[in-house]
Amino acid sequence: MDTPNVTRRNALRLMGCAGACSVLPRGWGASVPMTQRRPNILVIMSDEHNASVTGCYGNGIVRTPHLDALAARGVTFDACYTASPLCVPARLAFTSGKYISRNGAWSNNCWLPSDDVASLPRVLNAAGYDTVLCGKMHYDRERRYGFSMDLGIGNNSRKTGTGNRRAVADLEPRPGVSQRFQDFRLGGEDENGCMRHDLQVTEKGSAFLRERGRGQKPFFMLAGYLSPHFPLIVPEKWWRPYEDRVPMPVIPPGHLDRLPLNYRHLRVGFHNEDVPAQTVQLGRELYYGFTEWFDDQVGKLLGALTESGLAEDTVVVYTTDHGENLGEHGLWWKNAMYEHAARIPLVVSWPARWAGGQRRREACSLLDLVQTIAELAGQACPEDWDGDSLCPWLDNPAAPWKDRALSQYYAHNIASGFVMLRQGHFKYVYHSPPDPDHAAEEELYDLRSGPGEFTNLASRPEHRPRCQTMLATVVRELGEHPDEIETRCRADYAKGYGRAPAKGRAAAAGANAQLMNARFIDGDLHWDHRGTPGRFRVEATAGAEGGPALVFRKPEDDPAPVDENSHLDQSVRVQPHTRYRLGMRVKASADLRPVLRAADGNFGSVVEVLAGDSRDWQVAQQEFDTGELTAVRLQFFGGARGRIRETAPGTSWLDQVILEPVGNAED
């Protein structure tokens, strides 16, 4: 990596660095003599929390008393950014201290190059800490990256390293909206997998804190909450205070047509183009309610810390992995570089060292937080980490700070990767050319004069020098031009990790017959079509961990197409509290949408896997948790929201469906 960067970091670290956290960089693994006891470090990391939906970030509607109280006891950062607006890349950047392009953490389907990387947990282990994983970090089930204790909640996904890009022209709108919007509704905590997960985080995290006595090794605990990540299924008592109280997004006329190509792809790829206004409104209200529910969990966990008697010696950090667009700019979920998705809350509280209620307004990032934690533990970071410790700036608000943050997105539903640089009050985004026929795209926003990010200044002559300078900064910071990064990303996706789904043998069709309510004739699975009878050959019966799996393949000699008159609709027995992978291979001339529902109709749609509008074979997959269910209903049909869409007979084919357990329930 670039030596000047390291020099710059060291210089910054040396400036104004005083007190217990004064650390000279010595190379990774070197411990530093401490003059006082090193603090415990509790990082509470939520999922998908839009910073602006927090009381301490100026929201006058949402109620977040516990986070606000933490801010009153701590230092709040107004312009902190994620390393990538997506779960796994952000979390792997946090784990590794590096930009995602430097460790291949492109998407949710990725892991770090090795389990043995010089991770934050390993740095803290070397400093004499117990490192405790309590909840979601979205790790592969074979990777813990050095955490010395795992409280056993989730982190059981299976990464294959594969990915793709959307074709530039693939922007034709489809009728209906994403199945995810069907999970904008009232419902009990038990109906929301994120809430079920988070109740465990609070319970096990609190138990750990209460049992942890003084005099033991210091601990670092990552309390990984899933809230307020969709599904937005929220108990009525938490939603009711926000009914008709959350303002709608304000989108200027014509704005959606002027979005960068990649963001138009996000709208089509996530099927967000035509969300009814009442759905937008309800979703926003539910999100506020979910955020308050999460804040209540924070209160319980911090209550346990107080009861433990360790609070005085514990640094408490609150942050999230990325934000949530909430319908702003016509977008839902994250994936974009607007403030709603890329900016994240960050509060660092340790009253023993820093007076509460302070704010820091300049730009910083999740990668800076990583180095801050290492420095608080009195441990030098690996020289090739990409952030800068916030400690000098925490100690002294007038200390020089870089005022710079960088974020990258190379995952799904885009035509090309993009990178964002926030510097001062400007935000610059560079989108790599998606193909040889299309140029790179740039965005430049002045967040002071236009905080809504509706006016792209990048093409204005007076701003061209600024764009060029900011792109040069991006290249220097990453050590590579974004176009080179995009090329490497595509090559990595094409290669994958060589981890094909585990396949058993078609030896036990009888077991399958027990697993699903279907007819097996001569080893083939038959089910009722409307129109053409379906027949799929059973290819495998063993799941990745020896559990039940179903793999159906349409025999090549079976000419029956899956068209507007045909569908798959089968009940399948599943293990409760288990994570399953649903994969399918289809050929489509129109959108084909498999939907997974509970057999009792009470599960909602948890799987949204679709083939897209392509005449080529498409492979899509998604993981889901079964919760309390013992059976789910697997449906496959063309069109959106259950309506069969007319397709040309013979052009749409369902080739293969895989349903297999991949581990314990995660999120």
Q: Note every long-range contact of 302-308, with CB atoms under 8 Å and residues 24 or more positions apart, other chains counting.
A: 302/66, 302/70, 303/206, 304/205, 304/206, 304/207, 304/209, 304/210, 305/42, 305/209, 307/209, 307/210, 308/209, 308/210, 308/212
Shortest spacing between CB 409 and Ca ion, in angstroms? 13
How are beta strands 534-542 and 524-527 bridged, if at all?
A: antiparallel
Query: Among residues 283 and 561, whose Cβ is nearest to Ca ion?
Result: 283
Tell which positions 40-69 bind Ca ion, by CB under 5 A: 47
Tell which positions 404-463 bind Ca ion, by CB under 5 A: none
486 binds Ca ion (CB under 5 A): no
Query: Among residues 318 and 637, whose Cβ is nearest to Ca ion?
Result: 318
Cα–Cα distances in angstroms (integers) from residue 123 to residues 2, 134, 314, 447, in the given order: 22, 18, 18, 36
Query: Among residues 321 and 480, whose Cβ is nearest to Ca ion?
Result: 321
Contact pattern for Ca ion over residues 219 through 238, marking x by CB under 5 A: --------------------
Shortest spacing between CB 41 and Ca ion, in angstroms? 21
Find the DSSP H helices in 479-520. 482-495, 509-515
Q: Please list, residue by residue across 265-280, b when 16 or more beta carbons sit within 10 angstroms of its beta carbon and e when fewer do.
A: bbbbbbbbbebeeebb
Shortest spacing between CB 206 and Ca ion, in angstroms? 23
Shortest spacing between CB 225 and Ca ion, in angstroms? 10
Query: Among residues 287 and 536, whose Cβ is nearest to Ca ion?
Result: 287
Shortest spacing between CB 135 and Ca ion, in angstroms? 12
Distance of CA 336 to the CA centre of its chain: 12
Query: Among residues 261 and 342, whose Cβ is nearest to Ca ion?
Result: 342
How are beta strands 149-150 and 130-135 bridged, if at all?
A: parallel
What is the DSSP track for 250-319? Answer: ---TTTGGGS-HHHHHHHHHTT-TT--HHHHHHHHHHHHHHHHHHHHHHHHHHHHHHHHT-GGGEEEEEE
Query: Among residues 411 and 415, whose Cβ is nearest to Ca ion?
Result: 411
Shortest spacing between CB 367 and Ca ion, in angstroms? 17
By CB under 5 A, name the one of 70, 87, 411, 609 that touches Ca ion.
87
Cα–Cα distances in angstroms (integers) from residue 73 to residues 355, 366, 380, 538, in the given order: 7, 20, 27, 60
Query: Among residues 92 and 376, whose Cβ is nearest to Ca ion?
Result: 92
**Distance separating alpha carbons of residues 505 and 555, to the nearest angstrom:** 16
- Residues paired with 45 in a beta bridge: 224, 319
Shortest spacing between CB 344 and Ca ion, in angstroms? 10
Residue 36: how many other CB atoms lie within 10 Å: 10
Cα–Cα distances in angstroms (integers) from residue 75 to residues 58, 339, 356, 390, 453, in the given order: 15, 20, 6, 11, 27
Contact pattern for Ca ion over residues 271 through 310, marking x by CB under 5 A: ----------------------------------------
Of 16-24, 87-95, 155-163, 465-473, the segment contacting Ca ion by CB under 5 A is 87-95
DSSP helix/strand/coil, 55? helix
Shortest spacing between CB 48 and Ca ion, in angstroms? 5
Shortest spacing between CB 83 and Ca ion, in angstroms? 12
Tell which positions 525-584 bind Ca ion, by CB under 5 A: none
Shortest spacing between CB 332 and Ca ion, in angstroms? 13
Query: Among residues 137 and 611, whose Cβ is nearest to Ca ion?
Result: 137
Residue number with the shortest CB distance to Ca ion? 87
**Distance separating alpha carbons of residues 117 and 122, to the nearest angstrom:** 8
Tell which positions 93-122 bind Ca ion, by CB under 5 A: none
**Distance separating alpha carbons of residues 379 and 33, to the nearest angstrom:** 9
Of 127-135, 163-171, 313-321, 652-660, the segment contacting Ca ion by CB under 5 A is 313-321
Shortest spacing between CB 364 and Ca ion, in angstroms? 20
Residue 439: how many other CB atoms lie within 10 Å: 10
Q: Quick one: which of 657, 608, 624 has its CA closest to 176?
A: 608
Tell which positions 239-268 bind Ca ion, by CB under 5 A: none
Can you give the three-state secondary structure of 176-232, one letter per residue? Answer: CCCHHHHHCEECCHHHCHHHHHHHHHHHHHHHHHHHCCCCCCCEEEEEECCCCCCCC
Shortest spacing between CB 293 and Ca ion, in angstroms? 17
User: Which residues make Cβ contacts (< 8 Å) with residue 300, sequence separation at least 6?
Assistant: 202, 206
Query: Among residues 47 and 183, whose Cβ is nearest to Ca ion?
Result: 47
Contact pattern for Ca ion over residues 8 through 47, marking x by CB under 5 A: ---------------------------------------x
Per-residue DSSP letter, 124:
H
Number of amino acids touching Ca ion (CB under 5 A): 3
Query: Among residues 87 and 105, whose Cβ is nearest to Ca ion?
Result: 87
Tell which positions 315-334 bind Ca ion, by CB under 5 A: 321
Query: Among residues 328 and 388, whose Cβ is nearest to Ca ion?
Result: 328
Query: Among residues 321 and 328, whose Cβ is nearest to Ca ion?
Result: 321
Query: Among residues 184 and 426, whose Cβ is nearest to Ca ion?
Result: 184
Shortest spacing between CB 282 and Ca ion, in angstroms? 22
Shortest spacing between CB 445 and Ca ion, in angstroms? 24
Of 86-94, 434-442, 444-452, 603-611, the segment contacting Ca ion by CB under 5 A is 86-94
Taking the CA atoms of 240, 242, 244 and 249 in sequence, report the sign of the dihedral they define.
negative
**Distance separating alpha carbons of residues 73 and 351, to the nearest angstrom:** 6
* Phi, psi dihedrals of residue 462, rounded to the nearest 5°: -70, -15
Query: Among residues 409 and 430, whose Cβ is nearest to Ca ion?
Result: 409
Tell which positions 141-200 bind Ca ion, by CB under 5 A: none
Contact pattern for Ca ion over residues 351 through 370, marking x by CB under 5 A: --------------------
Which residues make up the interface to Ca ion (CB under 5 A)? Answer: 47, 87, 321
